[in-house]
Chain A
């Protein structure tokens, strides 16, 4: 028989029938047991020579594994990685961009109307309220005005007006729960996909709040448009929102899911721990 550095005599099949304790032996050697479990194992080892032998066998195997060197990756692995990294340095769009086919003229008009409105507020404020009119106060006024405009526009029949409303919502600083609710409502129920997309985009900035994310994850469940599904997944994965995991799993198993959505969902699943 060959001489072995790690000396070991194999015992016959282990006879210990306390399978519960026996199953803990590996964890015992790894110091992974609770203090109570450790005590139980130690007490058992006092009377069970089978388990004591097995413990020795486990140690021997662990030692062998420790002495087994890892295989070196190909020598160009690091170079390949750096090449990949270089490519990422080329300017890329950071945020989620959504293409919505609305008329830029209409938006421009809305902005001009809006600016005129803001100027009126400013003038009005500085004349009557010169002592208290701090910038913050004015900003607040402007935000309120946007909110009023938005709440009025969102009820409009024309999709382009509702789009405008959503655009206003996006500019409201320190949004009120009403604004987020209107946006969520729009996201879930507006008949026009474009308006829904714009609402999703506007909600992006509020997604730092957990309540909003929970609602967005719920919304993802109901959306049937692939573009919207993708936008919502991208948004939520950024915030590591795990409540969408079941929905993603559904997407990935459902044959009717759009191929691109499926891919997006599967990738997102791999990074959500």
Chain B
């Protein structure tokens, strides 16, 4: 089924073959999960929210527009669910990132210098504003295009080019300071 595009599969789901949604879950749940972690949602909640996104996709399958980018739609829903999560828990995304991001050696064997660099990267990510984390996660970690990010965040491509640069500049400055000592 790999040759089917996300959009083909979603159309199939919309037409009533809801089992096809498991293909999309397989393809994207890891990215969604990491998006939540990187924006500051705790480990178990990140998993819950991932499930919620897919539940909502299923519930609103009729409203999926033919040919609309699936990943774009998915991350729009994810972003809304994430915001709601922070609102209802009165926990601010400015707070620290989940510990799992920093406990690298616990989950895989890794060269210690590489480990230091990854830690420095996440520590830098932790220090930048939530909106910037979102942009960086979508663009660099989840591989979303500028056009899609502009739509997801409700802004123009022109604005995204500049915002992305500024967000990454903040990350760079913090990261290279860390990695230097």
Contacts and interface: CB of A to CB of B under 8 A. Distances in A.
B113 A68 contact: no
Interface residues of A, number: 50
B121 interface: yes
A250 interface: no
B161 A23 contact: yes
A27 B121 contact: no
A5 B114 contact: yes
A127 interface: no
A190 to B, nearest CB: 28
Interface in A251-273: 266-267, 269-273
B156 interface: no
B163 to A, nearest CB: 9
Contacts of A25: 165
Contacts of A239: 63
Contacts of B62: 237-238
Given A10-B176, A65-B140, A84 B55 contact: yes
B181 to A, nearest CB: 9
A106 to B, nearest CB: 33
Interface stretch (B4-12, B17-25, B126-134): B17-25
A24 B72 contact: no
Interface string B144-175: 01100001000001000110111010011001
Contacts of B60: 237, 267, 271
B47 A74 contact: yes
Contacts of A69: 108
Given A71-B37, A73-B33, A84-B55, A57 B176 contact: yes
B30 A32 contact: no
B29 A77 contact: yes
A73 B166 CA distance: 30
A70 B121 CA distance: 13
| 9 nearest A-B residue pairs (beta carbon) | A270-B80, A27-B161, A26-B165, A271-B60, A73-B33, A238-B62, A23-B162, A70-B34, A32-B146
9 contacts: A24-B165, A58-B168, A61-B168, A64-B117, A70-B30, A77-B33, A78-B22, A267-B56, A270-B77
